[in-house]
Amino acid sequence: MTLPVVLVSHQPPDPIRDAFRGVLAGAADVVFLPELSDASRNDVLRTARAVMTYHPIRDLGVNALRKLENCGLMQCLTAGIDYLPFGDLPDHIAVAYNAGAYAEPMAEHVAAMALSASKRLAGEHRLMRQGEFNQFVPTKRIAGMTCGILGYGETGREVARIMRALGMNIQAINRSGKTDEQVDFIGTLDDVDHVLAASDVVVITLALTSATERLLEAAQLKEMKPDAILINVARGEIVDEDDLYAHLIAHPDFTACLEAWWVEPIRHGRFETAHPFLDLPNVIASPHNSAMTDGALITAAERGAENVLRFLNGETPRFIAGDDVRMA
Amino acid sequence: MTLPVVLVSHQPPDPIRDAFRGVLAGAADVVFLPELSDASRNDVLRTARAVMTYHPIRDLGVNALRKLENCGLMQCLTAGIDYLPFGDLPDHIAVAYNAGAYAEPMAEHVAAMALSASKRLAGEHRLMRQGEFNQFVPTKRIAGMTCGILGYGETGREVARIMRALGMNIQAINRSGKTDEQVDFIGTLDDVDHVLAASDVVVITLALTSATERLLEAAQLKEMKPDAILINVARGEIVDEDDLYAHLIAHPDFTACLEAWWVEPIRHGRFETAHPFLDLPNVIASPHNSAMTDGALITAAERGAENVLRFLNGETPRFIAGDDVRMA
């Protein structure tokens, strides 16, 4: 019996190859596009049942994409796929995103930022260098406080698990406004103002879509507590850059923890901010590295491959991109 | 019926007074030394059954201490009492320390430091300001790693609770080498080298005693993993200052999170380090403020008063300082 072909659009390092082949063992032949001979390339493109990829256009090109006649699933390996030019992708291929692929390391990163901000770690270190030793200026205890999670999907729920373990109450926003999990409030995007007003820590784990772009502008930031902590590990564009900067200047007790940026290397070829966020004492910045712990890429690869396996087994793959996540 | 007198050696703010009086309501008359008239002062000193204090010598003076004829308990309100000049205290009065008084805020501070170090928050922010955007340099995921806790008392166990909730394995050291709690290893000071070698994060929550002073010198630091995170929330003197600085210079992947210092304002009247720790990229510094969250002083006051209540009720008070914690 010939196994179906799963085409990987790039040449990953060995542990990732092993992860793909391990999950799909006995169910598919995993082949890597850059390793194909010119002779076999067209055949593989024509017969491939699924593609696993970070960048379908860049890696395959529009011509190769057109040859994917038998392909039923384009499994992206990133959690967010707002950067995909859906208009250039063949209509007959379902596109799946790798939701929650990096949920655990991202949730730890969120906890690191929330705690670092509440204990003023960076700020007090800086003041100690200037000769201050503020032993008796209270910091915040996050246990008992409220964490609002905008985007209660795979990653948001893992954030909730950790924040709950730290003693925080959870208020959350998702598409359905429903959850089986233990939360203090669950609502939809219509309830954002309520969650913003109630939360001491607000975490953005939303997908970037036309509905979430610039969800937080001046009016929404104004709803938040003046000493709240805003953590964005999703996409810069969900928060208005100018409005956030103005808010940080006007509210020195407000902290922004920025892991996702408006202009950053992977999506834009460079890192750039419209304002000097990095110089503000009430900003904690990280270079969109929350997903990047040792082993995280392997876990993400396995999760992507498991979704391909569902598809090959005739089950419905998870996290198919609907019109609402297709921005372009 | 006349209630026994409990003497507070200082003038605390109202919420603390309320905490003392709330816990001891119906069981004692709580009086505050600075508010006594000269006429009543000697009577109160003579009749007081217990004293609550931060600084018995400074607040009462040696002469007043001699007048505490009926006092059976000197309840200190700090968790560590290494600074007390035991030689100047009357022999007949048991001294209790306020163990774990600040356990919860301190444990959160430890988690903040461990996560901030493992995610390199301060370092990557600094590098971003220099134009680097290290999206693909892996950070550590602490879930699954091992946390060694030197000093598995009230505070150490609360640290363990949080670190366990974050997915860490726990190895611990206490006086008995025994515990009912779920740990992967429990031992005594004889096992320090084992715990140091096994741990990714090492937290010092020990009391400073003659047995723990300079417990970690060059030889012990060498036992640790080269990329370990050392967190000291106890007393600077437990780690050799020169040896730690040399270790940090020689091991750039090693991080020291220093909350307790060798020379600091409360104990020494000034903050001073023998080496420029604050300038090292692999140091996270805080001004001994881990206990100082809103409400923490009230909780600590209640815990101290509860121990006084035990004593007044004829029970054995907890955390009586034995010879092993009496350094002076």
**Interface probe with A: pick from B140, B141, B273, most Cβ of A within 10 Å:** B141
Q: In angstroms, what separates the C-alpha of A119 from chain B's closest C-alpha?
A: 7
pLDDT digits (tens, 9 = 90+) for B191-227: 999 999 999 999 999 999 999 999 999 999 999 999 9
Residues of B in contact with A140 (CB under 8 A): 293-294
The total of other beta-carbon atoms located within 10 Å of residue B144's CB is 12
Q: Domains in chain A, please, with CATH?
A: 5-101+295-325 (3.40.50.720), 103-285 (3.40.50.720)
Please answer yes or no on whether A109 and B129 come within 8 Å at the CB atom: no
Q: What is the DSSP letter of B253?
A: T
Please answer yes or no on whether A139 and B293 come within 8 Å at the CB atom: yes
Q: In angstroms, what separates the C-alpha of A143 from chain B's closest C-alpha?
A: 8
pLDDT digits (tens, 9 = 90+) for A78-109: 988 888 888 888 888 999 999 989 999 999 99
Please answer yes or no on whether A136 and B162 come within 8 Å at the CB atom: no
ipTM comes to 0.92
Please answer yes or no on whether A105 and B141 come within 8 Å at the CB atom: yes
- pLDDT on residue A313: 96
Residues of A in contact with B293 (CB under 8 A): 138-141
A210, A203, A244: which is closest to A106 by C-alpha? A203
Q: Tell me if residue A202 falls in helix, strand or coil.
A: strand
CB B93 within 8 A of CB B64: no
Residues of A in contact with B233 (CB under 8 A): none
Half-sphere exposure of A152 (CA within 13 A, CB side): 27
Nearest residue on chain A to B131, alpha-carbon basis:
A271
CB A98 within 8 A of CB A303: yes
Q: Tell me if residue B147 falls in helix, strand or coil.
A: strand
Residue of B135, B139, B285 lying closest to A125 (CB–CB) = B285
- pLDDT on residue B287: 98
Q: What is the pTM of this model?
A: 0.93
The model's confidence at residue B84, banded by pLDDT at 50, 70 and 90, is: confident
Residues of B in contact with A135 (CB under 8 A): 264-266, 287-289, 292
The residues facing A203 across adjacent strands are A149, A231
CB B279 within 8 A of CB A129: yes
CA distance B25 to A192: 46
The model's confidence at residue B80, banded by pLDDT at 50, 70 and 90, is: confident
The total of other beta-carbon atoms located within 10 Å of residue A289's CB is 20
CB B142 within 8 A of CB A107: no
**Interface probe with A: pick from B78, B110, B127, B135, most Cβ of A within 10 Å:** B135
How big is chain B, counted in residues?
A: 328
Note the Cα B156 to chain centre separation in Å: 9
pLDDT digits (tens, 9 = 90+) for A188-197: 999 999 999 9
Name the phi and psi angles at B198, rounded to 5.
Answer: -90, -15
Tokens (6 digits) for B296: 């923490």
In 3-state terms chain B splits into helix, strand, coil percentages (rounded to 5) of: 40, 15, 45
CB B103 within 8 A of CB B154: yes
pLDDT digits (tens, 9 = 90+) for A252-281: 999 999 999 999 998 899 999 999 999 999
The total of other beta-carbon atoms located within 10 Å of residue A222's CB is 15
Please answer yes or no on whether B286 and A124 come within 8 Å at the CB atom: yes
Q: Tell me if residue B224 falls in helix, strand or coil.
A: coil
Q: What is the DSSP letter of B214?
A: T
Nearest residue on chain A to B134, alpha-carbon basis:
A287
Residues A149, A154, A159, A164, Cα dihedral to 10°:
90
Tokens (6 digits) for A283: 């900003």
Please answer yes or no on whether B121 and A294 come within 8 Å at the CB atom: no
Q: Residue B31: CB partners within 8 Å, gap ≥ 6?
A: B5, B6, B7, B8, B44, B48
In the sheet that holds A229-232, the strands lie side by side as A185-187, A169-173, A146-150, A201-204, A229-232, A255-258, A283-285
B160, B138, B270, B145: which is closest to B198 by C-alpha? B145
Residues of A in contact with B279 (CB under 8 A): 129
**Interface probe with B: pick from A118, A128, A158, A259, most Cβ of B within 10 Å:** A128
